[in-house]
Chains A and B, each alone.
Chain A
Amino acid sequence: MLKVALIGAGKMGISHLSILGAHPDVQIVGVCDTSKIVSEVLEKYSGFECFTDYLKMVDKTKPDAVFVAVPTKFHYKMVKDLLERGKHVFSEKPFCLNPQESKELVDIAKSKKLINQVGYHNKFVGTFQEVKRIVDAGYIGDIQHFTGEAYGPVVIKKKSETWRSDPNEGGGCLMDYASHVIDLINDILSPIDSCKGAMLKSIYSKQVDDAVYALVGIESGETGVISVNWSDETYRKMSTSVTIIGSKGKIVSDANELKVYFKTKDFPEGYSKGWNVKYVTDLTEEVSFYLRGEEYSAQIDYFIKAVQGIVPNVINTFESAWKTDLSISIIKKSS
């Protein structure tokens, strides 16, 4: 049994906690949250030992691994403290408020040989995994253009302030929402390392951006567009998609449906020339416990297995999340 603790029982934290609670190899040894009501419910009905001080929790419960699901501005200090105490760490995204902090954590985790992962769950979505496989194998040919998009109804009226509406706490569409798209592009193609121009627009929020539109370049030399808006109420929930146009074909994929067009006879097995459509249901492995999408269970299972030494620690590492933080900072600077 792996002893796991969690810091921050908010929306993502509670979701992680439920998936961890159902995991056959995990024992939850402690939960840290500042909300009394949340702690009381978890203690009374789940029987978890709850804390308000994460260092006390770690000292007392001696977990092997810790999940960090607090607002972004706390990630750096907490993750650093945890790494220094020799804990494997799963951190929520975005990783840190700036890439200097992320880089420092990358180096500590590396030097201490600790398993590290960040919650960019799209990397565990079957369609996006397939997009990466097709692109990596060269079936799309030379990349000519890409578009990364995400739309959803997060902020659809002027509303009360939370940490997500505070630019100093990691709030805003670029940090919170566009980071998913940026991270996907970085992973499928190569990291975004330049920005030819970006618009960060406020629609309802007073202090932060609600939409991000940017022309970007990636390390391998190609260019594309990032278009993200979290104030679009025509979407029922977040919809993330990538379009990649290459010399040999074109891919349009979201988390449910992958459409790919091959211009030539050079296509992967199971595909044909012209348009092909694959659904996530064909591309997804069953999980042992389902809560809200296979990817959420799969990313946790992957982390647990990495700590157990069963899988390599190569998906959503601190290093990849640091590069995403770098890309975010480059886009922010250009706006």
Chain B
Amino acid sequence: MERILFGDNQFFAVNHISDEKSRAQAIKFKDDAAIMKVLDDARAAGINTFMCTTHDRIANVCDIIRDNPEKYEGFKIYPCMPYAHKYANAVTELGIVGTLKEYVPGNFFGSLFKGGMAVISKDFISIMELLIDAEMKMFKGIDTPVIFLQNVITDLLLGLGMKDFLIAFAHHIEKKYNAEAGFITMNLPQLLPVLEEGGIKNPIICASINKVNFRMSGGKELYEQILSEGRARVIAMQVLGGGAIPAREALEYVSKLPNVESILFGASSKQNIQNTVETINHYDSQKIMVS
């Protein structure tokens, strides 16, 4: 994985500290061209990986990338599935079974329901695989070397003790997409042993890691200890602690942590993107000099 990954929260009005800023972002990125402009700014700053949720609008981004193969040569996308609000809203509207009927592709579900519950019961893992395939459709023909499960699902399954689905996710991603599975989580200390027990060694885990202990369940010290053990390929996200820390200080902290393979960040302005990349590079070069 590249050292710096570019995120997509800013494009979809995800702002952890301000509803006002969310709205401003929604207005700014109303048109796909505005998203592409920022992605091009990120590429110009040397970032070639875009880590994004499987939001409907990412399908448009994928179309543009496919239509311009020369321009986007070497550009990678790390899909993060699912876009949770889509399913959450559907569950409110249709219930759990109704949502499955709506989103599991083909006649699979229809025929199973006709056949009664007994038929369906045995193969929930296959249903999950179908949902993964449905989410992956938009990325056809695009280089997606790592495919992530979003934190709300990872952590939901973790809390429910449903590790079989986490492991099955990884297996399906490897087998069908010839890619590596990644897990986004707010609970790194609890997730890692579960993945290890399931036979996933040195998993790719994207977790909230920042100087102010923001969304680091179990506490910063525990995270630092786990990082020092080098048992996972870790991507640090929410490095600014939801905006609570000055950028430079935040990036210095996370750049200097051991075994953080990549840093994920999102920004809307060219200047911000450049500054962030330069700051990370600066602290990385210091680290190299020290070692």
Contact = CB atoms under 8 A, between A and B. Distances in A.
A162 B96 contact: no
A257 B152 contact: no
A287 B217 CA distance: 6
Interface residues of A, number: 47
A159 B94 CA distance: 9
Interface string A215-227: 0000000000000
Contacts of B288: none
A35 B241 CA distance: 40
A45 B244 contact: no
A46 B156 contact: no
Contacts of A286: 213, 215-217, 219
Contacts of B290: none
B12 interface: yes
Contacts of B157: 18
Contacts of A154: 89, 92
Interface stretch (B17-25, B41-49, B57-65): B17-25
Interface in A1-58: 10-11, 14-15, 17-22, 35-38, 40-42, 44-47
Contact of B244 (A37, A241, A281): A281
B196 to A, nearest CB: 17
A164 interface: yes
B130 interface: no
A109 B225 CA distance: 45
B190 A21 contact: no
A234 B19 CA distance: 11
Contacts of B217: 286-290
A92 interface: no
Contacts of A37: 96-97, 100, 117, 120-121
A239 interface: yes
A254 interface: yes
Interface string B150-184: 00100111111110110000000000000000000
A46 B162 contact: yes
A238 to B, nearest CB: 11
Q: What class of interface size applies to chain B in its complex with A?
A: 35 or more
B67 interface: no
A256 interface: yes
Contacts of A237: 85
B128 to A, nearest CB: 10
A19 B92 contact: no
A119 B86 CA distance: 23
A321 to B, nearest CB: 21
Contacts of A46: 160-162
A11 B92 contact: yes
A239 B244 CA distance: 21
A280 B17 contact: yes
B242 interface: yes
A14 B92 CA distance: 13
A236 B98 contact: no
A160 B242 CA distance: 37
Contacts of A280: 16-17, 242
B16 A38 contact: no
Contacts of B161: 21, 45-47
B69 to A, nearest CB: 33
Interface of A: 10-11, 14-15, 17-22, 35-38, 40-42, 44-47, 153-155, 159-160, 162, 164, 234, 236-237, 239, 241, 254, 256-257, 279-282, 286-292
22 contacts: A10-B95, A11-B92, A18-B156, A20-B159, A22-B187, A37-B96, A45-B160, A45-B161, A46-B161, A46-B162, A153-B89, A159-B93, A162-B94, A234-B26, A256-B18, A257-B18, A279-B17, A280-B17, A280-B242, A281-B241, A290-B155, A291-B156
Sort A-B residue pairs by CB-CB distance and give the 4 closest, nearest first.
A18-B159, A290-B186, A281-B242, A22-B159
Interface of B: 12-20, 22-23, 26, 85, 88-89, 91-98, 100, 117, 120-121, 124, 152, 155-162, 164-165, 186-187, 190, 212-219, 241-244
Given A18-B158, A236-B13, 15 more contacts: A10-B95, A14-B160, A35-B97, A36-B117, A37-B121, A41-B124, A45-B161, A45-B164, A162-B93, A236-B22, A256-B16, A279-B242, A289-B187, A291-B155, A291-B159
